[in-house]
């Protein structure tokens, strides 16, 4: 196995530098603490007022940060030596554009972190499945005795890894399109692109610009690096000729001579002329056809990191899925209830629907519309959905696009959605919360939405 590429580039001098941190959520707070520890002069700015932010923000003022809350001071941006941006902040906002015009360097948190983290970077992105694949990959490496941490968009900012960094530590980073927009030199030794489907169309002018942001994961890789691609996704497979890294493929439908695929009802990994049967798909502890793809991608990473496949198979059997991702909540009177609140775009909902054969699904859709094309759901709704329950801001939009395909009920709240789903569920059926929308019309995030659904389902009486 070739030596992995360290991810740290030559870092700039931070002591005394004027650095603006944009966004006072988890990544912004972590960035500010790190920069203060390096004696930078930090301005932490957020468009939201102090009352809407974590109390930890005001504590940073006592540690030396200057707070500019409730709006941005463009002068601070233009006087800065460096601007570091949290993933939730669009790079197109006016103060950032003005800073760039004056020659100020504007980067994402993960880019800045990559200058200082000493270790081995594994970057995982895709429209769907990246959180599960990130957690599973770190689990497989750790189970095999390697030092590995899941970080990035999964919850722990990469910048938090700097104090504990070690050259032999694997940093398995979930990377969103928002984060990848702001990278310059970040270079993962292994980059994984799981799939591409339209998402965040409220932020990107077209699906193609969103795809281009995702593909920045590979832009700094060279011949000593590795790219893992989904051979079944035409948009992803089409990148193979332009990627400079060594490409490994995974597929749930094709028989690949090299990579990961299915054979005789099981996952096999083929590498360097050898074939390893890892495990039967029926033994996979994760539910859903898309999780077979996620497992194959994680196994390819493990193989590249030197993990013996029998050890990887053992780790895979021990992995437990993450909440809100096709999470089985309960069975009640012959109907099984699933929480897939993390299905926040149309592509994710399609993956969910593919996991349930037969026309027996009551599908709960709706929330805050991110510009999704709900008409793409039509074929699977026609084939597999017995009833639609449409909720939230997007319910009328969804009804106009697919409501004529299956019986549909519009509701305003989760309480009403659960009640309507119970009434509509056929014997032996499935109730599936897979909203194809963000949650911000009614909830603080998809976790809160999924928790509410789970709580109400568990409260149902026989």
As annotated, the active-site residues are 130, 153, 200
Q: Count CB-CB contacts under 10 A for residue 190.
A: 26
Q: Which residues pair with 82 in a beta bridge?
A: 19, 105
170-174 and 120-125 as β-strands: parallel, antiparallel, unpaired?
Answer: parallel
CA distance 137 to 300: 9
Strand locations in 231-318 (E)? 246-250, 259-263, 266-271, 274-280
CA distance 80 to 65: 14
CA distance 191 to 175: 10
Structure tokens at 450: 């999924």
Cα–Cα separations (whole angstroms), residue 187 to 53, 191, 245, 250, 314: 33, 9, 11, 22, 30
Helix intervals (H) in 327-371: 346-354
Handedness of CA 77, 75, 30, 193 (dihedral sign): negative
**Cβ-defined contacts of 268-274 (< 8 Å, 24+):** 269/296, 269/299, 269/300, 269/303, 269/309, 271/303
Structure tokens at 294: 């996620």
């Amino acid at each position: 196995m070739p030596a992995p590429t360290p991810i740290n580039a030559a870092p700039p001098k931070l002591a005394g530098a004027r650095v603006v941190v944009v966004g006072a959520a988890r990544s912004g707070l972590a960035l500010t603490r790190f920069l203060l520890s390096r004696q930078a002069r930090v301005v932490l700015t957020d468009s939201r007022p102090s009352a809407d932010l974590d109390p930890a923000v005001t504590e940073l003022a006592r540690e030396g940060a200057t707070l500019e809350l409730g709006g941005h001071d463009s002068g601070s941006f233009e006087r800065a030596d460096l601007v570091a941006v949290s993933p939730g902040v669009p790079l197109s906002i006016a103060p950032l554009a003005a800073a760039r015009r004056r020659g100020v360097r504007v980067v994402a948190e993960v880019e800045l972190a990559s200058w200082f983290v000493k270790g081995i970077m594994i970057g995982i992105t895709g429209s769907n499945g990246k959180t599960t694949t990130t957690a599973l990959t770190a689990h497989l490496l750790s189970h095999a005795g390697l030092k590995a941490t899941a970080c990035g968009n999964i919850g722990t900012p990469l910048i938090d890894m700097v104090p504990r960094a070690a050259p032999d530590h694997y940093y398995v980073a979930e990377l969103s399109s928002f984060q990848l927009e702001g990278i310059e030199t970040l270079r993962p030794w292994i980059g994984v692109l799981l799939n591409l489907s339209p998402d965040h169309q409220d932020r990107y002018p077209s699906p193609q610009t969103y795809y281009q942001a995702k593909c920045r994961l590979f832009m700094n890789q060279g011949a000593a690096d590795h790219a893992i691609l989904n051979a079944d996704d035409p948009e992803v497979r089409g990148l193979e000729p332009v990627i400079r890294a060594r490409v490994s493929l995974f597929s749930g439908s094709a028989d690949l001579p090299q990579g990961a695929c299915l054979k005789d009802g099981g996952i096999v990994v083929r590498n360097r002329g050898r074939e390893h049967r890892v495990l039967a798909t029926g033994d996979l502890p994760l539910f859903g056809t898309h999780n077979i793809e996620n497992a194959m991608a994680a196994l390819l990473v493990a193989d590249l990191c030197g993990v013996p496949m029998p050890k990887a198979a053992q780790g895979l059997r021990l992995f437990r899925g993450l909440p809100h991702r096709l999470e089985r909540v309960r069975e009640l009177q012959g109907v099984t209830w699933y929480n897939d609140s993390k299905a926040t775009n149309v592509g994710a909902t399609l993956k969910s629907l593919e996991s349930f054969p037969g026309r027996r699904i009551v599908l709960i859709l709706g929330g805050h519309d991110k510009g999704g094309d709900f008409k793409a759901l039509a074929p699977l709704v026609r084939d597999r959905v017995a009833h639609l329950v449409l909720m939230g801001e997007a319910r009328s939009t969804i009804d106009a696009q697919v409501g004529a395909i299956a019986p549909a009920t519009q509701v305003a709240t989760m309480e009403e959605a659960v009640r309507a789903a119970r009434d509509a569920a056929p014997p032996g059926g499935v109730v599936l919360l897979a909203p194809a929308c963000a949650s911000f019309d009614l909830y603080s995030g998809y976790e809160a939405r999924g928790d509410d659904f789970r709580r109400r389902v568990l409260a149902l009486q026989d």
